Amino acid sequence: MAKLKVAIVGLGGVGAIHLEAYRASRAVEVVAAAEIDPARLQAAQARHDFKAYADYKEMLTGESIDLVVVATPVSTHEAVTIAAAKAGHHVLCEKPLAVEVAQAKRMIKACKAAGVTLFYGATYRQLPALRAARDLVVQGAIGEVRLMREQEVGGTGPEGRQIMGFAHYPQGGPGGSGFGLVDHGIHLIDAFGWLSRSTVETVFGRGNISGADAFPEYLLMNFRSGALGHLLYEDSTFPTSLPGEGMFSWGAGWDINGYVPPGLWQSAPGCIHVHGSRGALRIFHYANALFLTDKDGTRQIELEGRPAPGHFAAQVESCARSIQDGAPVEVPGEAGLAALEVLEAAYRSFEEKRMVTVR
Ligand SMILES: NC(=O)c1ccc[n+]([C@@H]2O[C@H](COP(=O)([O-])OP(=O)(O)OC[C@H]3O[C@@H](n4cnc5c(N)ncnc54)[C@H](O)[C@@H]3O)[C@@H](O)[C@H]2O)c1
């Protein structure tokens, strides 16, 4: 089978990681990439062989491409995706699919009209610890899922907060920090529905506003299955972790201090808790460890697959299987839309001081 021809738009923080991860894949080759920052483009070219463009529109019409990976700031996802679809290319768009639900709907419509597939970059679904956790849930290992929760609280005070710029989230709309509800919580909104095999019915929450002072963010999601999802974020304070707590990370990934390479000691590695009627899972998604607790005690689950950043290659290979072999689309654009609908409902709930029904 010929390698899938991939073009990347945006070689910033995550685009450069996609590029590096794809190099290890035998299923895809990056034929071209577009980046408006000449220094970033040059730095990537020094390490990888691809045709470089400053203008992504030229790349879309000038190259033989199977899949365009959109890794630009969030507010540009709609324009890049629609241009790629109109040029006849399948699209893998990074999370969040867009800033607003209306944009996401237009993206899905444009891809349908052009007869191309819109894949949603729900990278958490590719992390080995999360995949193994879902397999255990599906096998019934923890019974009925009752509660899923994640929290990221810490930082170095308000000055140390890593705010996403207005290029990502326009001033006055939803936004905030890279470890907040919008930019990070969107992963969990999707992952909780996937883990519990349910959809969100009602929400109550509070998210930060781009350009405004920070406050603690939270989201309560009532799933149709009866499960509760809970997210809590605040990165303009300090952590409460004690010196003896933590673990060595077996994968790369992001924590509240930024991108962390594998092998480092982390005092508070990101983790997701899933509590069921017959057991519970503690998922260290980036540190690549998984623990199952039930009536027989706690044990570590052996993991297969590629931890971060290899999960970016696993994701694009999943797209390749759909495009080349007709395999079912693992995460369609509609999943990105559904996550945004939950987020928008959360903002509405706080404004209106009530629980809001999603769709
Ligand atoms: N899946 C994950 O784990 C993960 C992690 C980090 C970021 N992200 C997502 O990836 C996307 C990008 O985030 P980032 O942190 O890499 O942002 P970034 O700001 O570091 O990088 C974006 C890059 O896009 C370039 N760019 C902007 N407009 C462009 C255009 N018209 N043509 C070509 N290049 C253009 C910028 O110059 C910049 O280099 C966001 O949607 C973000 O939420 C996902």
Map residue 41 onto helix, strand or coil: helix
Spacing, Cα 12 to ligand 1 middle (Å) = 5
**In one letter, which amino acid is 7?**
A
Mean pLDDT of 100-115: 98
The answer to whether residues 157 and 238 touch, using CB atoms and an 8 Å cutoff, is yes
The answer to whether residues 275 and 133 touch, using CB atoms and an 8 Å cutoff, is no
Map residue 39 onto helix, strand or coil: helix
Please give the angle made by the CA atoms of 23, 98 and 160, to the nearest 5 degrees: 80
Spacing, Cα 353 to ligand 1 middle (Å) = 34
CA atoms 125, 139, 322, 104: torsion sign:
negative
Which CATH superfamily groups domain 125-306+343-352?
Dihydrodipicolinate Reductase; domain 2 (3.30.360.10)
Q: What is the model's pLDDT at position 176? A: 96
Report the alpha-carbon distance of residue 272 to residue 125 in Å, rounded: 13
Q: What is the model's pLDDT at position 50? A: 97
The pLDDT tens digits for 150-196 are: 999 999 999 888 899 999 999 999 999 999 999 999 999 999 999 99
The pLDDT tens digits for 52-77 are: 999 999 999 988 999 999 999 999 99
Q: What is the model's pLDDT at position 359? A: 79
Spell out the domain ranges in the chain.
Answer: 4-123+310-331, 125-306+343-352
The pLDDT tens digits for 266-285 are: 999 999 999 999 999 999 99
The answer to whether residues 16 and 72 touch, using CB atoms and an 8 Å cutoff, is no
**pTM, two decimal places:** 0.97
Q: What is the model's pLDDT at position 277? A: 98
Q: Which CATH number fits domain 4-123+310-331: 3.30.460.80, 3.40.630.180, 3.30.930.10, 3.40.50.720?
A: 3.40.50.720
The pLDDT tens digits for 294-327 are: 999 999 999 999 999 999 999 999 999 999 999 9
Pocket-forming residues, ligand 1, beta carbon under 6 Å: 9-15, 34-37, 40, 56, 71-74, 76, 94-95, 121, 123, 183
Residue 25 has pLDDT above 80, yes or no: yes
The pLDDT tens digits for 114-154 are: 999 999 999 999 999 999 999 999 999 999 999 999 999 99
What spatial distance separates the first Cα and last Cα of the chain, rounded to whole Å?
Answer: 42
Here the tokens at position 155 are: 């930082």
* pLDDT bracket for residue 257 (50, 70, 90): confident
Burial 174-185 (b: 16+ CB within 10 A, else e): bbbbbbbbbbbb
